[in-house]
Structure 1
Amino acid sequence: MNVVIIGGDAAGMSAAMQVVRAQPDWKVTVLEKGAIYSYAQCGLPYYIGGIVKERDDLIARAREVFQEEHGIDARIYHEVQDVDGENQIVKGIVTDSGEPFEVAYDKLLIASGASPVFPSFDGSELEGIHVLKTIPDAEKIVTDMQEDVLNVTVVGGGYIGLEVAENFVEQGKKVRIIDLSERLGTVYDEEISEFIQKEAEAKGIELVLGESVKSFEGDQRVELIQTDQGEYRADMVIVAIGVKPNSDFVKNTGMHLHETGAIVVNPYMETSVKNIYAAGDCATQYHRLKEKNDYIPLGTHANKQGRVAGSNIAGNTKTFKGMVGTSIVKFFDLTIGKTGLGENEAKELEIDYEVIGFETAPHASYYPGDNPLFMRMIKHKQTDQLLGVQAVGKSGVDKRIDVAATALYHRMTTEDMENLDISYAPPYNSTWDPLQQGARRL
């Protein structure tokens, strides 16, 4: 049996390991567009900030490990350009030589990931303009920012934009964030965004909100950013306005695609084309609360989906149980977390909901330390089912978000939340956990 996998990162290699362990006699070929396997994309901002000292610390397993210890044909610089689903052949080009290649498969997994969104701005070819998705991207940024770079502009106020902005500030740069939206962190409700904005301003970040980038200007290197409302000087620009699934090469197959361009998969990670699976940032994820396919590309989903896909390819039936939209981000002294639906999502789904926002503390009120925790909780008005939780504070956010994510997965009500047996000691909690405080008020 010939198994071909497109993509050598989280989903692809999680799948590959499932296949070689279950079917050691099968041939597994991985076609990786770049030269690095199994690296931690989420750690890249911290490499830029110097918190992660060595780039190799971000690599979970080297390509040689997959080849020598597990017998995987792990190829590099193999860019797939077409999939012939009828004849079961993958076609592409070896980018460092320009030579074409073809590989036949019995089972194919597409784990091609996603690429940064980069609109065709005038002047986008100038030096000093970067995206951040791969280790080579991060290395270019680290090298470039040594070149008398003082002023850095980050285009985009989402997860990556916030993390990158923080790490440039920690490197002593003057940082500006430009975002088309009127607020930072639009995946969160407005009250949460207000905390993010205050933290950014307190750390000296210049915020330019509600403006759209039109062009970059300069001689050879970027010097100026032109928006629809003004112009701003910059020595370096990081464009972080989202990602798009790498799925263009499957369009000739007639494969079903999501509105985002992600490949639609069923719980077994099967696509609509026979013998082709998909997983990770190029594929959809089933949202347990929305009860439909969604696109929230995260490393946690990629690893789970890759494992499920590999198991099914190898003949061991497993299903991806879905996700509830859980995420967390550090931004200077704040931790911001979200799980489930926000208020805007509930409105879009036409859910009859109730929501509450309140300030509390992650520990007993009498225990020393001024450490407020702000939370928003939303529930279904008729069924009492918990629908979502958002939190922001200096500590205690991760615990509440993870407990809430577990509750959402199991469709618990706010009354169920009140009855949870949650750990308590004054340094860590009050007798009623903040989640339970909110549940009692809703």
Structure 2
Amino acid sequence: MKIVILGGGATGMGVAAKVKRNDKNCEVLVIETGNYVSLGACGLPYYVGKNFDEPNMLFARTIEKFNESGIEIIINSKIKLIDLKNKKVVVNNKEITFDKLVIATGADAISPNIKGLNTIEHFKLTKFEDGLALRNIVEKKNINNILIVGSGFIGLELAENLKDLNKNVTMVEIEKDILSNLYDAEISELIKTTLEKNKINLMLNSFVNNFYKKENKVIANISDKEYEFDLVITATGFKPNTELLLNTGLNFYKNNAIIVDEFGKTNIEDVYAGGDCCAIMNKITNQFCYSPLATVASKQAKVIANNICKIESRFNGTIQSSIIRLFDKAIARCGLTVREANDLNIKTKVSYIKDKDHTHYLKGQSDVHLKLIMNEDTHELIGAQMFSHKDSILRFYSLATMVWSKIKVNEALEQIDLPYSPPFAKSFDIIHIAISKFI
């Protein structure tokens, strides 16, 4: 059986490696448009921020190591044609046939439609070469005032890392709240306060009208006022990299992400897809959503590889769990926000608590903010959001497990046997307190 994989990211290489472990007799060919595979792109902001100096540490495995396991990889590929009906692709003017095709083409950074953007040097952070280029320029002494357009995960991580390099950082965000698609207003406000406390210049509910160059500077017209910057970075989100596939007969989600079932199959026989190019099922709403997260990509890779090898395996959906460090704080979330629940006509009950992370008689006690969202009709936990010191945030993993399990809120849950010791928690933890508000 010949398996062709389009894309050498987390999903593509995960499928390739797992297929070979399942069945060494399978012929596996990976087609990658870049000159590398298996990049841990989530580490790019931390490379830019000099948290480590060896960029090759971002690669989980070399091409040579994959070759040794019998996986063939074609890099620097130009895909000219994808013919799903006749099971062939044309790459670098060569026709390649397949028995099974895996589409793992990932996502591209969205380029904002701003007048003059194409006339100035600007940076994004999606690929390995982006990280190398951005780190190289921010090391220059004359790069001090930096504008980040967008305040999503990449924008926030860059803001933290660039500030740690003693840069003056300005963030412009068109929405009035930060990460308003992931957090409710209480948590968004805490993120805003943390950024301001660390001297990030926030321009919320604002937008860039246009850019132009003036000598060695970039002038940005932001909400009808002009500001001067040394460097511009765009971080306005991602879109699925599926343009070459739009006329192939595949079914697509509203943002052109490929729709797949729980087995990783598309609507076309013997064609699978996974990772950031796909729409997946939300475990709570039972509706498709777009969630370009590394955790999803790696899980889908195993499911796809198993099903190709006739080992039945299912992807059970997502609750869109995420976590981010922001200076000495951390923020985590999973499930639905109140706004999302309201949009779906789900009746909710909310418990919002501020408490301490551990006992008062030990040094370093800090605040924890926790929001739990319960479906009032079913009594299931459907969402959780937490803001705390970075050393306290890992208690959130238990909350993600509760939401994932669709656990019901009752007296037994209020008594959940969480571990306790004075340096780590209080005997009645903030999780207990938040749950008790529902009882």
Q: Do Structure 1 and Structure 2 share a fold, with TM-score over 0.5?
A: yes
Using a 3 Å threshold, how does the CA distance of structure 1 residues 316 and 172 change in structure 2: closer, same or farther?
same
Using a 3 Å threshold, how does the CA distance of structure 1 residues 215 and 81 change in structure 2: closer, same or farther?
farther
Alignment of 1:173-184 (within 5 A): 173-184=167-178
Give the aligned partner of residue 128 of structure 1: 121
- Asked if structure 2 preserves the Cα contact closer than 8 Å seen for 1:29 and 1:74, the reply is yes
Shift of 1:367: 3.2
Give the aligned partner of residue 32 of structure 2: 32
Give the aligned partner of residue 423 of structure 1: 419
In structure 2, C-alpha distance between the alignment counterparts of 1:420 and 1:24, rounded to whole Å: 45
In structure 2, C-alpha distance between the alignment counterparts of 1:387 and 1:76, rounded to whole Å: 43
Shift of 1:81: 4.5
Give the aligned partner of residue 162 of structure 1: 156
In structure 2, C-alpha distance between the alignment counterparts of 1:2 and 1:288, rounded to whole Å: 33
In structure 2, C-alpha distance between the alignment counterparts of 1:373 and 1:121, rounded to whole Å: 39
- Asked if structure 1 preserves the Cα contact closer than 8 Å seen for 2:81 and 2:90, the reply is yes
Shift of 1:396: 5.2
Given the alignment, which residue of 116, 119, 122 partners 2:112?
Answer: 119
Alignment of 1:75-114 (within 5 A): 75-93=74-92, 100-114=93-107
* 1:421 match: secondary structure: coil
- CA deviation digits over 1:47-75, x for unaligned, max 9? 000002110111110111101x2111111
- Asked if structure 1 preserves the Cα contact closer than 8 Å seen for 2:347 and 2:377, the reply is yes
In structure 1, C-alpha distance between the alignment counterparts of 2:394 and 2:196, rounded to whole Å: 27
Give the aligned partner of residue 2 of structure 1: 2
Given the alignment, which residue of 192, 199, 202 partners 1:197?
Answer: 192
Give the aligned partner of residue 50 of structure 1: 50
In structure 1, C-alpha distance between the alignment counterparts of 2:394 and 2:363, rounded to whole Å: 20
* 2:254 match: secondary structure: coil
Shift of 1:221: 6.1
- CA deviation digits over 1:384-438, x for unaligned, max 9? 1111110111145533321111111111022253132111111111122211210
Q: Percent identity?
A: 31
Give the aligned partner of residue 97 of structure 1: none
- Asked if structure 2 preserves the Cα contact closer than 8 Å seen for 1:116 and 1:242, the reply is yes
- Asked if structure 2 preserves the Cα contact closer than 8 Å seen for 1:336 and 1:397, the reply is no
Give the aligned partner of residue 96 of structure 1: none
* AA at the equivalent of 1:142: R
* 1:252 match: secondary structure: coil
- Confirm or deny that 1:145 pairs with 2:138: yes
Using a 3 Å threshold, how does the CA distance of structure 1 residues 102 and 417 change in structure 2: closer, same or farther?
farther
- CA deviation digits over 1:180-200, x for unaligned, max 9? 011222221111111111111
Give the aligned partner of residue 433 of structure 1: 429
Q: TM-score, normalised by structure 1?
A: 0.95
Shift of 1:373: 0.5
- Confirm or deny that 1:305 pairs with 2:300: yes
- Asked if structure 1 preserves the Cα contact closer than 8 Å seen for 2:358 and 2:365, the reply is no
* AA at the equivalent of 2:428: W
Shift of 1:219: 5.4
Shift of 1:169: 0.6
Structure 1: gaps of 5 or more residues: 94-99
* AA at the equivalent of 1:156: G
* AA at the equivalent of 1:364: T
In structure 1, C-alpha distance between the alignment counterparts of 2:216 and 2:149, rounded to whole Å: 17
- Confirm or deny that 1:337 pairs with 2:332: yes
- Number of residues paired by the alignment? 435
Alignment of 1:307-322 (within 5 A): 307-322=302-317
In structure 2, C-alpha distance between the alignment counterparts of 1:222 and 1:349, rounded to whole Å: 47
Shift of 1:23: 1.9
Give the aligned partner of residue 348 of structure 1: 343
Give the aligned partner of residue 15 of structure 2: 15
- Asked if structure 2 preserves the Cα contact closer than 8 Å seen for 1:308 and 1:320, the reply is yes
Alignment of 1:183-262 (within 5 A): 183-186=177-180, 187-218=182-213, 223-262=218-257
Runs of 4+ in 1 over 6 A off after TM superposition: none
Shift of 1:253: 1.3
* AA at the equivalent of 1:294: C
In structure 2, C-alpha distance between the alignment counterparts of 1:58 and 1:220, rounded to whole Å: 36
Give the aligned partner of residue 380 of structure 2: 385
Give the aligned partner of residue 65 of structure 1: 65
Q: TM-score, normalised by structure 2?
A: 0.96
Structure 2: gaps of 5 or more residues: none
In structure 1, C-alpha distance between the alignment counterparts of 2:120 and 2:398, rounded to whole Å: 45
* 2:369 match: secondary structure: strand
In structure 1, C-alpha distance between the alignment counterparts of 2:184 and 2:193, rounded to whole Å: 15
In structure 2, C-alpha distance between the alignment counterparts of 1:110 and 1:221, rounded to whole Å: 43
- Asked if structure 2 preserves the Cα contact closer than 8 Å seen for 1:128 and 1:221, the reply is no
Aligned alpha-carbon RMSD (Å): 1.5
Give the aligned partner of residue 165 of structure 2: 171
- CA deviation digits over 1:25-61, x for unaligned, max 9? 2211101111121111110000000002110111110
In structure 2, C-alpha distance between the alignment counterparts of 1:102 and 1:413, rounded to whole Å: 54
Shift of 1:152: 0.4
* 2:339 match: secondary structure: helix
* AA at the equivalent of 2:145: N
In structure 1, C-alpha distance between the alignment counterparts of 2:388 and 2:311, rounded to whole Å: 43
- Asked if structure 2 preserves the Cα contact closer than 8 Å seen for 1:6 and 1:80, the reply is no
In structure 1, C-alpha distance between the alignment counterparts of 2:65 and 2:194, rounded to whole Å: 43
